């Protein structure tokens, strides 16, 4: 996970205390309806204790971050992240809602009863809190299966109806060795009976030790499935501090070896061929390629070496920006599979329209995109990073069926 300087952490804590101070002020208008002073003092005391306790915990964790065992560090950071979001967002909603109602009521001469304003404010705060609780304790592992048909006129007839399961962004370090979660995923994939399984990177958060024990889960995948993988930006260890370059490289080599252990073919700027009835389909994998600050390890030209323009190709590239920068209009690759965005683990969907804050950073952030005869599919990811939940953006297993 990205490490922020102490100055940024202090600014965050100031913002939390400022919102808490305003919330505490408006909270008194709610407590006036409680007659017993003992309950008022109890609620106020708990509010102040939690407010300063959270800020203290954030600062202490930051100061002691380098002295905490890395295996505990990720769990502590994620827990505090979730606690901060579940506290901060409802208070913001409460403050904004009750302030707007109060100002409006004064401007238009008490259009609402005074007792109703704090009640509506509390409701405005409780609703997002409930949604966040659901995101953390229920939706985070509530897997959704997407069935997508991809039609392409150049698909070889022998591969009509080929089923490709696409998964991405497992971030096993965040799962904290909850092996049963991945067992459920493996069981779903086996029941889908795909011909090919493509994993588009971010197997870990930072370290190869996060992989301990997970091979038992992966080895439950059906041996009849052809399995391919690429590396994501988190797999290289770029977000961790290393004693030397050799340690970082050793970490990466351990991760690569893990793919061999679980019988996945790791494509590092390389390709593989699937043949049927003297017809061929090519699976291509590039190393991570993203716009700065993300590294550009990927070499698409190297990946395509030896392939003919007439070959039918499926590309695995972790970051969807690679598609618009180097793939579409620059190659004849039929289908690109990507992940990386997680759909920001939060969004809204109403009928056929979807929205997420991540769309202001990524043009292609979830689902199927098409330009001419070139497709991109962006998987919303299976795991999580940072905020330990998913709100309106369920973890995804995708089944892409190829049709001519």
- CA dihedral for 375, 380, 381, 382, sign (positive or negative): negative
**CATH (domain of 288):** 3.60.21.10
pLDDT for the residue 206: 93
My answer on whether 231 and 365 are in the same domain is yes
My answer on whether 33 and 157 are in the same domain is no
Number of separate domains in the chain:
2
My answer on whether 188 and 302 are in the same domain is yes
Q: Euclidean distance between the first and final Cα of the chain, in Å?
A: 42
Q: Which among 101, 121, 137 is the end of a domain?
A: 137
My answer on whether 93 and 150 are in the same domain is no
Domain membership of residue 104 (yes or no) is: yes
My answer on whether 241 and 129 are in the same domain is no
My answer on whether 33 and 64 are in the same domain is yes
My answer on whether 125 and 17 are in the same domain is yes
User: What is the extent of the structural domain holding 213?
Assistant: 144-403
pLDDT for the residue 359: 96
Rounded Cα distance between 193 and 20, Å, is 52
My answer on whether 237 and 321 are in the same domain is yes
Q: Which among 85, 104, 137 is the end of a domain?
A: 137
My answer on whether 131 and 165 are in the same domain is no
**pLDDT higher than threshold 60 for residue 2:** no
Domain membership of residue 264 (yes or no) is: yes
**pLDDT higher than threshold 70 for residue 3:** no
My answer on whether 222 and 245 are in the same domain is yes
Domain membership of residue 1 (yes or no) is: no
**pTM > 0.85:** yes
Q: Which among 137, 163, 187 is the end of a domain?
A: 137
My answer on whether 101 and 148 are in the same domain is no
The pLDDT confidence band at residue 78, using thresholds 50, 70 and 90, is confident
Check residue 342 and give left, alpha or beta (phi > 0: left; psi -120 to 50: alpha). Answer: left
Rounded Cα distance between 231 and 268, Å, is 8
Residue-wise pLDDT for 21-37, tens only, equals 999 998 998 888 888 89
């Amino acid at each position: 996970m990205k490490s922020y300087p102490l100055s940024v952490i202090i600014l965050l804590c100031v913002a939390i205390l400022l919102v808490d101070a305003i919330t505490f002020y408006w909270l008194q208008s709610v407590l006036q309806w409680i007659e017993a002073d003992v309950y008022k003092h109890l609620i106020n005391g708990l509010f102040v204790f939690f407010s300063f306790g959270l800020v203290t915990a954030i600062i202490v964790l930051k100061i002691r971050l380098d002295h905490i065992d890395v295996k505990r560090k990720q769990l502590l950071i994620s827990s505090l992240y979730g606690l901060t979001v579940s506290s901060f967002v409802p208070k913001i909603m409460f403050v904004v809602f009750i302030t707007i109602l109060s100002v409006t009521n004064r401007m238009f001469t008490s259009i609402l009863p005074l007792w109703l304003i704090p009640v509506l404010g509390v409701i405005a705060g409780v609703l997002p809190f409930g949604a966040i609780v659901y995101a953390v304790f229920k939706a985070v592992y509530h897997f959704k299966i997407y069935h997508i048909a991809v039609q392409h006129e150049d698909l070889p007839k022998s591969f009509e109806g080929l089923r490709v399961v696409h998964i991405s962004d497992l971030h096993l370090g965040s799962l904290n060795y909850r092996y049963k979660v991945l067992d459920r995923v493996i069981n779903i994939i086996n029941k889908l009976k795909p011909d090919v399984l493509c994993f588009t990177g971010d197997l870990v958060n930072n370290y190869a030790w996060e992989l301990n024990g997970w091979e038992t889960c992966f080895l439950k995948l059906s041996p009849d499935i052809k399995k391919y993988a690429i590396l994501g930006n988190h797999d290289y260890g770029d977000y961790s501090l290393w004693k030397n370059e050799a340690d970082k490289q050793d970490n990466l080599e351990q991760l690569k070896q893990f793919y061999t252990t679980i019988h996945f073919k790791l494509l590092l700027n390389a390709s593989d061929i699937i043949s049927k009835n003297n017809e061929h389909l090519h699976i291509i994998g590039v190393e991570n390629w993203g716009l700065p600050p993300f590294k550009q390890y990927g070499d698409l030209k190297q990946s395509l070496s030896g392939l003919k323009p007439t070959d039918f190709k499926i590309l695995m590239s972790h970051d969807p920006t690679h598609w618009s920068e180097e793939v579409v209009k620059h190659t004849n690759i039929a289908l690109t599979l990507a992940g990386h965005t997680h759909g920001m683990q939060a969004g809204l969907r109403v009928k056929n329209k979807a929205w997420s804050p991540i769309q202001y950073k990524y043009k292609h952030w979830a689902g199927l995109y098409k330009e001419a005869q070139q497709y991109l599919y962006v998987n919303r990811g299976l795991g999580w990073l940072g905020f330990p939940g998913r709100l309106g953006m369920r973890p995804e297993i995708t089944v892409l069926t190829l049709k001519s």
